[in-house]
Amino acid sequence: MSQPSTFSQRVYEAVKRIPKGSVSTYKRIAILAGSPNASRAVGNILHQNPFPGEIPCHRVVSSSGRLTAAFAFGGLDAHKEMLLRENIEVYGNKVNLNKYLYRGE
């Protein structure tokens, strides 16, 4: 397994700071990783996450709060289940960013 790039490492560090019971967005993680226009790259990095046990990727959603069917943990249903275990309510395939968005980054 190859070492992650510097940008990937910054993405992983930003994601690890999201507290349990909160979510962040691809765009916010991209900003924290130093590349404001790289939300798609952030999604690709998290989808290829070589550290599934260490990086809580399920805490990242789209800028509209939509869940994704990607990532290393098994798709949309698994994403919902992981968020529900953290007491994050899921409405259809979305979370309420006004309620759950982590703003202390």
Q: Is the pTM of this model over 0.75?
A: yes
Q: Which amino acid is at 6?
A: T
| Spatial separation of the C-alpha atoms in residues 100 and 95, rounded to whole Å | 7
Is the residue at 1 inside a domain?
no
Query: 3-state DSSP call for residue 24?
Result: strand
Domain range for 11: 6-99
Number of folded domains in the chain? 1
Q: With the C-alpha atoms ordered 35, 36, 38, 44, is the resulting torsion angle positive or negative?
A: positive
* pLDDT per position as a tens digit, 53-81: 888 999 999 999 999 866 556 788 888 99
The CATH number that applies at residue 41 is 1.10.10.10
Is the residue at 105 inside a domain?
no
* pLDDT per position as a tens digit, 33-47: 999 999 999 988 988
- The catalytic site residues sit at 57
| Spatial separation of the C-alpha atoms in residues 103 and 44, rounded to whole Å | 23
The Cβ-side half-sphere exposure at 76, using a 13 Å CA radius, reads: 11
